[in-house]
């Protein structure tokens, strides 16, 4: 059948699957985070966050891993090319860089593997979600509009390598409470993109304060605009809170949000804790993810 009689390509609704299909079709072409995000129809920040949640790997790290896996297959073939040619074809700037990456990934140099492809190497590149559903995670059936308010607290910049340190912000906030102009509501974890490198974000642990309240030295204020959100609820059981939240966030960002059909809005997303929240007691946490109305 010629092209005129061929059926049209099937549109891929899931933005992450759409980006993955693009990587597979163009794996040895120049690929960038911004370009993959554009294919997914997301901002680079939201794309990196969703991709990390589903595949446990940063987008460009996945691209490099995929290229190395295909390069290993070429080396095991009947007519493997020169390592210099393979390195450039795989998107590396030098044979030395390719060799280091290959050995780091597989525990053996590409030269040795080319000479003896029976050498055992481990290839574990994610091709599908391995997210474990959070059984106590529920979602509001429709987006919810929330009014504007103001949050003040302590903040720092994190990425995938150090985000486990976020809980350390909360004791720093508690020792400063109550803040001037503080409301009697709960506490908030406010997450926003930094505009810096892949996967970096600023997390603020804070409380709601009056619009005109003075912010003390060493604290940061964040204005939260009136916004429409996807709202998720997690009932916690008093066990390891961080582990429960990580499972829930992987499901929220890696599965539910990409497949929601809503376009994410530029703006902070929030973790919301009730006034009487105790991390070692059964309670609940909410996530508010901003979407375009």
SS (H, E, C) the chain: CCHHHCCCCCCCCCHHHHHHHHHHHCCCCCCCHHHHHHHHCCCHHHHHHHHHHHHCCCHHHHHHHHHHHHHHHHHCCCCCCCHHHHHHHCCCCCHHHHHHHHHHHHCCCHHHHHHCCCCCCCCCCCCCCCCCCCCCEEECCCCEEECCEEEEEEEEEECCCCHHHHHHHHHHHHCCCCCCCEEEEEEEEEEEECCCCCCCEEEEEEEEECCCCCCCCCCEEEEECCEEEEEEEEEEECCCHHHHHHHHHHHHHHHHCCCCCCCECCCCEEEEECCCCCCCCEEEEEEEEEECC
Domain ranges for the chain: 3-115, 137-291
Q: What is the pLDDT of residue 128?
A: 44
CA–CA distances in Å: residue 92 to residues 71, 87, 101, 223, 246: 11, 5, 9, 43, 34
Q: What is the pLDDT of residue 203?
A: 97
CA 76/CA 81 separation, integer angstroms = 10
- Residue 272 in contact with residue 149, Cβ under 8 Å? no
Q: What is the pLDDT of residue 76?
A: 87
Q: What is the pLDDT of residue 1?
A: 44
The class (CATH top level) of 137-291 is: alpha beta
Closest to 110 (Cα-Cα) out of 74, 64, 79:
74
* Residues facing 220 on adjacent strands: 153
Low-confidence stretches of the chain (pLDDT beneath 50) = 1, 7-9, 124, 126-131
3-115 and 137-291 in the same fold: no
Q: What is the pLDDT of residue 23?
A: 94
Q: What is the CATH number of domain 3-115?
A: 1.10.10.60
CA 88/CA 86 separation, integer angstroms = 5
- Work out the angle between the directed axes of helices 15-25 and 59-75 (0-180°, nearest 10): 30
| pTM for this predicted structure | 0.84
CA–CA distances in Å: residue 57 to residues 9, 269, 270: 28, 21, 23
Q: What is the pLDDT of residue 127?
A: 45
Closest to 121 (Cα-Cα) out of 81, 78, 68:
68
Q: What is the pLDDT of residue 185?
A: 83
Residue 244, phi then psi, degrees to nearest 5: -65, -40
For 61, residues 6+ apart whose C-beta sits below 8 A from its C-beta are none
Q: What is the pLDDT of residue 9?
A: 47
């Amino acid at each position: 059948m010629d092209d005129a009689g061929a059926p049209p390509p099937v549109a891929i609704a899931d933005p992450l699957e759409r980006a993955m299909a693009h990587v597979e079709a163009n794996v040895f072409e120049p690929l960038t985070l911004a370009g993959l995000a554009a294919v997914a129809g997301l901002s680079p920040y939201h794309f990196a966050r969703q991709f990390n949640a589903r595949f446990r790997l940063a987008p460009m790290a996945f691209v490099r891993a995929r290229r190395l896996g295909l390069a290993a297959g070429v080396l095991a073939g009947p007519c493997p090319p020169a390592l210099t040619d393979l390195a450039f074809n795989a998107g590396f700037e030098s044979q030395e860089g390719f060799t280091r990456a290959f050995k780091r990934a597989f525990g053996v140099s590409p030269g040795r593997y080319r000479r003896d492809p029976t050498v055992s190497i481990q290839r574990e590149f994610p091709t599908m979600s391995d997210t474990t559903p959070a059984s106590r995670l529920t979602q509001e059936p429709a987006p919810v509009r929330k009014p504007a308010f103001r949050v003040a607290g302590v903040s720092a910049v994190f990425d995938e390598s150090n985000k486990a340190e976020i809980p350390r912000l909360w004791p720093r906030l508690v020792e400063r409470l109550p803040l001037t102009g503080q409301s009697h509501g709960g506490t908030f974890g406010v997450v926003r993109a930094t505009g810096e490198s892949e996967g970096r974000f600023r997390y603020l642990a804070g409380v709601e304060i009056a619009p005109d309240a003075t912010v003390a030295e060493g604290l940061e204020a964040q204005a939260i605009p009136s916004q429409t959100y996807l709202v998720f609820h997690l009932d916690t059981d008093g066990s390891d809170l961080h582990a429960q939240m990580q499972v829930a966030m992987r499901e929220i960002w890696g599965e539910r949000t990409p497949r929601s059909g809503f376009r994410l809005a530029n703006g902070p997303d929030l973790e919301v804790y009730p006034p009487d929240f105790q991390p070692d007691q059964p309670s609940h946490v909410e996530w508010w993810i901003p979407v375009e109305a």
